[in-house]
Chains A and B, each alone.
Chain A
Amino acid sequence: MDARVAASASTEFRPVTTTFAADPRQPDPVVRLRGFTRRFGANVIIDGLDLDIAPGEFVALLGRSGSGKTTLLRTLAGLDDIGGQDVTIPGSRAVVFQDARLLPWKRIWRNVALGLGGSDIRARAEAALREVGLGHRLEAWPLTLSGGEAQRAALARALVREPQLLLLDEPFAALDALTRIKMHELVLSLWRTHRPAVLMVTHDVEEAMALADRLLVLDHGRIVAEERITAERGQRTAVARPLRARLLGHLGVDAPEGAYADLIAFPGAAR
């Protein structure tokens, strides 16, 4: 559509196989799914999905509500039984959910230290909390934190494990716009420092375009579109406009290119 967009060429509405098999320079992926299928009763939620995620790669997963994003993420988190399918996930994983899911009966630093082994647990938890700007709330009870603080604590709890794979399920959806911007900066800086592979589920196209190297759109259990952004973060304004329109198209919104304010005014945008 637009020459300035460095997206993989052929992504229009057909299942895309996102693998690195063709590229020998790529290191072994940390996540590798082949023909992965997940059913609940007769409902096929994930349908023969192939997915590779490279070490240190930042992937955003978009999709309509109910398209199976959380289901996929749970599999990558090792929370669901995969029933002997061809699924490779790394040994060290961590998840941040939309709700922070801190254990209310443990003080913040103990939440961060949950399940850690070794001797200097407290020091490691403290360092992680300082990194997310919560060095002053080490001894606080989780229920006394604000939403943004709780989410930062959840990030610290995930990163203290130095995971190879960091899974984020709409981690900022419940935050106000200002806090969300701060969180985006924080996530990026943490990602640059620790370099985990990231899979971030989001409904927010802007968020996905700002943070990720690669964007996947999930629909009816298949990846229907893949976009790669090679432009540096912070220099994506030019890329964003046409990409946004395309992504919204994949998500079932007929939208012209343009800013959000204009999209909304577009008659009959939502299908």
Chain B
Amino acid sequence: MSKPKRESLAHLLARTRWLSPVLLLLLWELGSRIGLIPERTLAAPSAVLGTLMSMTLSGELPSNLLISFGRATLGLAIGASAGLVLGLMAGLSRPGEAVIDPLMQIKRTIPVVALSPLFIVWFGIGETPKIALIAFATLFPIYLNLYNGIRSVDVRLVDAARSFGLTRAQLILHVILPGALPSLFVGLRYSLSLSVLLLVIAEQINASAGLGYLVNNARDFMRTDIIVLCLMVYALLGLAADYLVRLLERRALAWRPNLVEA
């Protein structure tokens, strides 16, 4: 008798995955209310919610979010485009590979964050070093995955297409690039999460606007509610980016069997 009961409990827990996070939130709120968690250490969830409302209404949060979002997008756009071009050149031509790949492998050994002092020396402390940092970091996953994707396209498919007399341009368009696309998406996903990570780091260095600026200010005034709020926004940015890639993937890779079945 007890066995099916325990099973149904397991099922119930599996279906209520939201339960433990909600429980944690409630405990956190409770701890704050009874003074176990001081506000200077960590603001109560309700306080964070209140800050969210007020900062949204005042326009402080949206305007700074927009600035951060702009930095990440611009940096990613530049980095991804460069990675795309370099990956295509290295993937599609042997001379291109010989010139580009060694440089990219060297670049890979340098932690991007360690470059920020140099970027500040070069570009000052305005927008440019932040965007450059994001661009520089997001370039590599796109490059590497596209290049590998192109190089590992099934030669049997290439042979088949060539046997039908496809030109090189047709081959690239119909066989090689679509074949490399799944791999490119992997790179895009890495780059997107890197762009959020580098955004956080770049904004910590120096910022007079943006989410990082809000966090820095909040730190000086020990406003843990704002810090937690900004953490949540960063997390949401990351989630949104991931969702976007999934959406794109579902459209572009509709032919893949696991998606075909669905």
- Residues of chain A touching chain B, judged by Cβ–Cβ distance below 8 Å, are 74, 77-79, 92-95, 97, 99, 101, 103-106, 114-115, 141-144, 157, 161, 167
Contact = CB atoms under 8 A, between A and B. Distances in A.
Nearest to A93: B163
Nearest to A101: B160
Interface of B: 156-157, 159-166, 170, 174-175, 178-179, 181, 253-257, 260
Contacts of A92: 165
Interface of A is mostly: loop
B163 A77 contact: yes
A103 B166 contact: no
Contacts, number: 61
Contacts of B255: 104-106, 141-143
A103 B161 contact: yes
Contacts of A77: 163
A94 B164 CA distance: 6
A115 B163 contact: no
B27 to A, nearest CB: 48
A161 B160 CA distance: 14
A143 B254 CA distance: 11
Nearest to B178: A105
10 contacts: A78-B162, A79-B162, A79-B163, A101-B157, A103-B175, A105-B255, A114-B161, A114-B166, A143-B255, A143-B256
Contacts of B156: 97, 99, 101
Contact of B160 (A95, A104, A144): A95
B182 to A, nearest CB: 9
A106 B166 CA distance: 15
A105 B179 CA distance: 8
A217 to B, nearest CB: 24
A157 to B, nearest CB: 8
